Amino acid sequence: MKFPGSKLLHQWDLATQRLSLDDLLRSCQQAGLTGFAEVKLPQAVAMIFYYLGGEVNALYKEGAVAYHGQAALERLRSQVSSDEGSISVYELPLDMAHLLRGITNRQKLRETVKSKAELVEFLRRLEKSEHTGTLEIQTGAGSAMVLLVRGRVSNTYWETAGGLTYEKGEARHRLETAVDKEEAALFLSEFSRDVWKTRHEVQDSVRSRLERPREETPNDELAAEENALRQQVLDELFTQVPSLIQAFMFDLMTGSIFARKGRGTSVIRVGLLAEKVPALTGYLRDLVATEDEDQVELIELSTEKVSTLVAIVPEAQEAIAMLADKSQPTALVGAALSRSVRSYASRLHPARGTLAS
């Protein structure tokens, strides 16, 4: 499994430096890793995926037999203490980590692509089926990772055989050039929204394995910090915009509401409209993305009585929505929202900022 754009952080040779599985897990968690640890042993290979310091999935393959999740970790535990093999820890770009956080199934396809036209046609079929997940494309010249959200290409990474990494338009161009020259293997993964919704939660099994059942993990602290920051952003908006009826922040991938604040009973009369905002935002982002890979920054919807504005926070893959009455000019409301987006992005946890840059 190859991840173009990954950055090698550390590597251990088990022949010269012994390392237990608990040591590895603790090191990755305390570092707040977003990425993966790759373990290569004489008779097996394994990968442990991380999102902001928490283990989110594990794969272990020995010959033709593969294990996932807790079973994979238990198999790995009995093997990693040997004096042969290596362990490598990699950091991943944040947008790739967002999708890998929810990956539940990966399979090599019998189908291959032998030209740019075949690649375009295959991506068209994924768009038609509204596939969300990853498409890995491997050639002799390099490998690509295509991120797909509801069928649209969110981003593309390309890594040459020599280790150089490209993304977006340049990555797509190099990928198309490569498949025009040789046949490429395809690996397709699916995305589970249920897994994504729990991305800040550290499983109980992980806590007991690390013998820290009563302590807050770095992941817990980060989740609490982000929730407090979101509430602070909404409080500031209500101070700056007297006409504001309701404001909330939501996840772009799932539509889940992270924080909400309303003003009195007025919230009730805009409740139905507010409920539809996340789905409408997702639809418009997909629609705009089909036009030369453009991206939505701000959505404005006005009725006779209410103005609805939604601003995207790309650094967090979140959005801030506001519903206000017409007692204030929409331009002033929009300016306050833009300031809040910039403020929120600048105050995000360093783990987000580093990976998003």
pLDDT in tens, 152-194: 887 888 888 877 888 888 889 999 999 999 999 999 988 766 5
In a domain, 207, yes or no: no
In a domain, 48, yes or no: yes
**Angle, alpha carbons 299-301-306 (nearest 5°):** 135
Helices then strands (H, E): number in the chain?
12, 17
Residue 236 sits in the same domain as residue 257: yes
Q: What is the pLDDT of residue 169?
A: 87
Residue 264 sits in the same domain as residue 352: yes
Per-residue tokens: 183: 């046949």
Measure the CA–CA gap between 135 and 150, rounded to whole angstroms: 13
The partner residues of 37 in beta bridges, in order of sequence, read 48, 89
Q: Is the pLDDT of residue 128 over 70?
A: yes
Measure the CA–CA gap between 157 and 292, rounded to whole angstroms: 17
Question: Of 67, 82, 102, which residue constitutes the final position of a domain?
Answer: 102
pTM, two decimal places = 0.49
Domain of 116, in residue numbers: 106-191
Residue 41 sits in the same domain as residue 77: yes
Closest CA to 90 of 7, 205, 203: 7
Measure the CA–CA gap between 91 and 242, rounded to whole angstroms: 43
Q: What is the pLDDT of residue 120?
A: 94
Give the SS3 label for residue 232.
helix
Residue 277 sits in the same domain as residue 348: yes
Residue 129 sits in the same domain as residue 26: no
Window from 31-35, 96-100, 123-127, 278-282 with minimum mean pLDDT: 96-100
Residue 76 sits in the same domain as residue 111: no
Per-residue tokens: 155: 């981003």
Q: What is the CATH number of the domain that holds 302?
A: 3.30.450.30
Amino acid (1-letter code) at residue 262: G
Residue 352 sits in the same domain as residue 239: yes
Q: What is the pLDDT of residue 208?
A: 31
pLDDT band at 222 (very low <50, low <70, confident <90, very high): low
Residue 75 sits in the same domain as residue 181: no
Indicate the helix (H) or strand (E) that contains 205. helix 204-209
Q: What is the pLDDT of residue 207?
A: 36
User: HSE of 152 in the Cβ direction (CA atoms, 13 Å)?
Assistant: 16
Q: Between 155 and 141, whose confidence is greater?
A: 141
Q: What is the pLDDT of residue 354?
A: 38
**What letter would DSSP give residue 253?**
T
pLDDT in tens, 8-66: 888 888 888 777 788 888 888 877 788 888 988 888 888 888 877 777 777 888 876 77
pLDDT in tens, 239-293: 999 999 999 998 887 677 888 888 777 677 788 888 889 888 988 887 776 655 6
Q: What is the pLDDT of residue 1?
A: 58
Task: Give how many domains the chain has, as a whole number.
Answer: 3
pLDDT in tens, 283-325: 888 777 665 567 888 999 988 888 999 999 887 778 999 999 8
Contact 274, 261 (CB under 8 A): no
In total, the chain counts a number of residues equal to 357
Residue 29 sits in the same domain as residue 97: yes
Measure the CA–CA gap between 79 and 63, rounded to whole angstroms: 14
